[in-house]
Homo-oligomer: A and B are copies of this chain.
């Protein structure tokens, strides 16, 4: 793989190659999007603008669940069914890498062995990086690129149950919560919080020695779901069971997603949701551009390290320093 080919690539070159389904170019373009280097930012925006009209024609599925629930095994089994049915599947994993340990938790080459060698599949860990709405923003842009490359099913995988899931919910069409039976009382509490986000609950590890537990958990959850008000999309969240390891019950998940698509496309919710998500995307893009404007300001660049020194010496409080820096910014900002 010769990466020097990209040295003179324009945004148009990228867009064209991505549209032709060139995976090397797609990977490179996602790296450019993820880059925080200033030189990459204009190129990144141009690539996305170029791909945007070519994107949107996919089913975006969010998959989440607590550690140990078997997300990779599930996605591997699920993805293989899709590629066998001639779909092209992109898996974007949002990776809560530690700031200290450089390297990714989910990025192991050993995960999803079958899917990662499938020519119809593309697996890409997205480091969740620092804050500034980065998670959602960059992943959303990666979705656009994958769709332009012809991937018609995009799976967004997250770990745990927190901020990232809320961000992911704001960019997918369908939200799948992988669950375990009998994983402790507190899990029920978590479910209560994200229950409105989930379109389906799938109890994994429905194996012989666990089957009774799963029946009970499924019945309990179905009872609980009846207590919630009907959702505005006309879809009542379902409860399924599967054994990702034994590849049992996976096809049923795909059938259910197709039911969901049919219903929400008919009642207009599918489009309405995408429009609403565009608004969230707008807010994220504002944040990203605002930070870029601030940190590329010449006077800010000149003052920042001085303030950092003063904070180190404890001669100014972080709050006061930030206020003074904002004043410098407002005084020195120039309209272009």
Q: Known: A196-B98, A289-B322, A314-B275. Contact between A333 and B336, CB under 8 A?
A: no
Interface of A is mostly: helix
Copies of this chain present: 2
Give the CA-CA distance A193 to B186 in the complex, in Å. 23
Establish whether residues B166 and A163, one from each chain, have CB atoms under 8 Å apart when the complex forms: no
Report chain B residues within 8 Å CB of A99: 166, 169
A130 to chain B, nearest CB (A): 8
Contacting residue for A196 out of B101, B108, B128, CB 8 A? B101
Give the CA-CA distance A321 to B283 in the complex, in Å. 10
Contacting residue for A190 out of B67, B131, B167, B287, CB 8 A? B67
Which of A6-14, A212-220, A324-332 lies at the binding interface?
A: A324-332
- A246 proximal to B (CB < 8 A): no
- A66 proximal to B (CB < 8 A): yes
A230 to chain B, nearest CB (A): 14
Smallest Cβ-Cβ distance to A103: which chain B residue: B193
- A308 proximal to B (CB < 8 A): yes
Q: Known: A45-B319, A49-B317, A319-B45. Contact between A133 and B135, CB under 8 A?
A: no
- A210 proximal to B (CB < 8 A): no
- A269 proximal to B (CB < 8 A): no
What 0/1 pattern do residues 303 to 331 of A give for CB contact below 8 A with B? 00001100110100111111101110111
Q: Known: A68-B186, A289-B322, A308-B279. Contact between A192 and B105, CB under 8 A?
A: yes
> A-B pairs with the 7 shortest C-beta distances?
A68-B184, A285-B322, A160-B160, A282-B318, A105-B193, A331-B335, A96-B162
Q: Name 13 A/B residue pairs within 8 A (Cβ), A-sorted.
A: A45-B319, A66-B68, A67-B184, A68-B183, A72-B186, A99-B169, A101-B194, A128-B162, A131-B163, A278-B318, A279-B308, A279-B312, A289-B322
